[in-house]
Amino acid sequence: MTHSLRTVRTRCHPPSRALARQVGVAALLSAVLLALLPLSPAAAARPARADRAADWEVTQLERGRIRNVAFDATDWGLTVDTYFALVAAGNHSKQARNVVRAVSKKVRKYVSYEGHFFAGPLAKTLLARRVAGLDPSIEAANLNLRRKLTSLIAGSGRVRDTGQSDLSNSLTQALSVLALSRSGRLRPSTVDFLTRQQCNRGFFRLQMKGADCRRGPADVDATAYAVQALVRARREGVDLPRRAVSAAAAWLVRAQRRNGSFSETPGGAVNTNSTGLAAKALTLVNRDRAARRAGRWVARLQLTRDKAAGTPARRDLGAIAFNRADLRLALEDGVTKAKRDAWRRSTSQALLALAPRPLTTLGVPGRVGRS
């Protein structure tokens, strides 16, 4: 708990120089001693909870990948999200290396189908390799991720899939800006197309169109990713519209519920995924109070020893529910096979509210890709 200090005004005479020196030395010693004190329980709780969430997520990996239980197939997108979560938590470096190695080995199965390439998976894989400090080129697959992603940039600056079905959206565009900026020169046109998806009130829409956005609809996830992409682009020297980042950050703060949670779209059902993504972006733009509130709300939906004691959910301590309904079901029936994929997905992104390390600089210590 944070206590406010009231300032008491008193009449006093100016201190002597000797006394001033003594006060200065005392203040310095106090600052040093405070820095050496252990963290308060509240400050230490979030990293510990992130560790436990990562501990659980690691148990869901099979040979460095996450398998979709319902379809009995590897979910490569969730596997990459798990990698980002493990790096953010920082307590499973070996397993994180195994994940990025597994994704790289099977990269063509993730980023392409029948000769057509998907921009989102290309951007996520390229970003994951740069986070790991690895080159964009995967020799075993005869694929240079950066070169292929760059080839998908249209004249307008939009990064889009090849083939008849184009599933690219603002998340794709933001991830592409992040991946390209961390692997080499960034084309301003890709940033410009992303900024055109920002609407008048500051948020970003999910589905991209050529014309500048005015009304929406608003999307928290897209806005959270866009904030990170724009901050990184500005760091790379790209000119941005005035207040693009600050307006998006202010909108995220307004979109947050009183209890600290977020929904993907304003007025929708709150969930830990969107809350985790928002917290990461808020931390990046120094909205720490809002980020801490998000972390506290996510922590309430985590399976802890006290919460799950005597219930079937005790076998999945550390996992984070998507919402309160899923938490209640787990306490009654455990994390069932039918719901396990949802828990894996929610934990990987909800963890980011407990260890909010943005994608702008996220990296493995000592091997950060173009930080």
The tokens for 189 are 């046109």
Confidence class for position 365, pLDDT limits 50, 70, 90: confident
What's the mean pLDDT in 62-85? 95
Residue 135 sits at φ, ψ, to 5 deg, of -70, 155
The confidence score (pLDDT) of residue 221 equals 98
CB-side exposure of 51: number of CA atoms within 13 Å?
6
pLDDT at 37 over 90: no
Q: What is the mean pLDDT of the chain?
A: 89
CB 57 within 8 A of CB 78: no
Question: Peptide bond preceding 217: is omega within 30 degrees of 0, i.e. cis?
Answer: yes
pLDDT digits (tens, 9 = 90+) for 250-273: 999 999 999 999 999 989 999 999
Q: Residue by residue, what is the 3-state secondary structure of 280-325?
A: HHHHHCCCHHHHHHHHHHHHCCECCHHHHCCCHHHHHCCCECCCHH
How far, in Å, are 89, 176, 359 from residue 81 at the CA level? 12, 15, 11
What is the DSSP secondary-structure string of 182-238?
Answer: TTS---HHHHHHHHTTB-TTS-B-SS--SSPPSS---BHHHHHHHHHHHHHHHHTT-
pLDDT at 13 over 80: no
Q: Which residues pair with 219 in a beta bridge?
A: 204
How far, in Å, are 32, 40, 42, 286 from residue 35 at the CA level? 5, 12, 16, 21
The confidence score (pLDDT) of residue 252 equals 98
The tokens for 13 are 């005479």
Count of C-beta atoms within a 10 Å radius of residue 174: 30
What's the mean pLDDT in 231-250? 96
The confidence score (pLDDT) of residue 363 equals 95
How far, in Å, are 75, 247, 270, 277, 314 from residue 334 at the CA level? 22, 42, 22, 26, 8
Confidence class for position 210, pLDDT limits 50, 70, 90: confident
pLDDT digits (tens, 9 = 90+) for 120-178: 999 999 999 999 999 999 999 999 999 999 999 999 999 999 988 899 999 999 999 99
Q: Which residues pair with 270 in a beta bridge?
A: 263
Count of C-beta atoms within a 10 Å radius of residue 114: 5
Count of C-beta atoms within a 10 Å radius of residue 237: 8
What's the mean pLDDT in 14-18? 41
Q: Quick one: what percent of the chain has pLDDT higher than 70?
A: 86
pLDDT digits (tens, 9 = 90+) for 331-344: 999 999 999 999 99
